[in-house]
Amino acid sequence: MNQTLGAATTYSSGFESPTFVPDGLLGMGFSQISVFHTSPVFQTMVSNGAVTQEVFGFALSSESGKSELTIGGTNTNMYQESTIEYVSVSLAAYWQIPLAGLTRPGLDGSPDVVVVDKTSYAQSIVDTGSTLIITSDSTAQAFYANVTGAKPSTEIGGGTWSGMSSRGTA
């Protein structure tokens, strides 16, 4: 199996942490966005029959050693199988999907804030190669409305926010 790999010489500030030294990044996007104009690792594995299912699952955690990537399936110990819902990719470049739910805890004892539900889908990009889930400016604005210290950031582009207090993060 031939696979093109690249070497990064810089990384975004979102990966900076005194307890985390970046040691690599595995892009899971589609070939349409490859800077090398070649098949990314997952797509190569699918094309070569190296996986039994064209599926991968990931769990992200801020707790050391708790994040994981499962290629060719999912880790059923990480969720209740009866609750899984498969969503079709709406744009095969990034992993762009229609987000069917986005809720954040209410502030100062107020009820949870439902930003998106199954009647008001929002297009979003789930990017495992960054620290982001990307959505529209209006969805991000609704999510961070009234969160202490939250403000739009121009560092990355539209729809990104920064400066949240630990109490106001969701």
* pLDDT in single tens digits along all 170 residues of the chain: 789 888 777 776 666 666 666 667 777 888 888 888 889 899 999 999 999 899 888 887 778 888 888 999 989 888 888 988 788 889 888 888 888 888 888 888 888 988 888 888 888 888 776 667 788 888 888 888 888 888 887 776 666 777 654 443 34
Contacts of 167 (CB under 8 A, 6+ apart): 107, 148
Q: How many domains are there within the chain? A: 2
What pLDDT was estimated at residue 49? 95
Q: Are residues 105 and 53 in the same domain?
A: no
Phi-psi region of 82 (alpha: psi -120 to 50; beta: other; left: phi over 0): alpha
Under 8 Å between Cβ of 79 and 67: no
Tokens standing for 126? 């789930």
**Among candidate residues 17, 44, 76, the one where a domain is terminated:** 76
What pLDDT was estimated at residue 151? 82
Q: Are residues 48 and 65 in the same domain?
A: yes
**Among candidate residues 76, 102, 127, the one where a domain is terminated:** 76
**Among candidate residues 19, 53, 76, the one where a domain is terminated:** 76
Residue span of the structural domain in which 58 resides: 1-76
What pLDDT was estimated at residue 62? 75
What pLDDT was estimated at residue 72? 93
Which residue has tokens 């969720």?
79
| CA–CA distance, 94 with 99 (Å, rounded to integer) | 14
Task: Dump the DSSP string for 56-93.
Answer: EEEE--SSTT--EEEESS--GGGS-GGG------SEET
Instruction: Residue 71: name the closest of 53, 60, 56, 49 by CA.
Output: 56
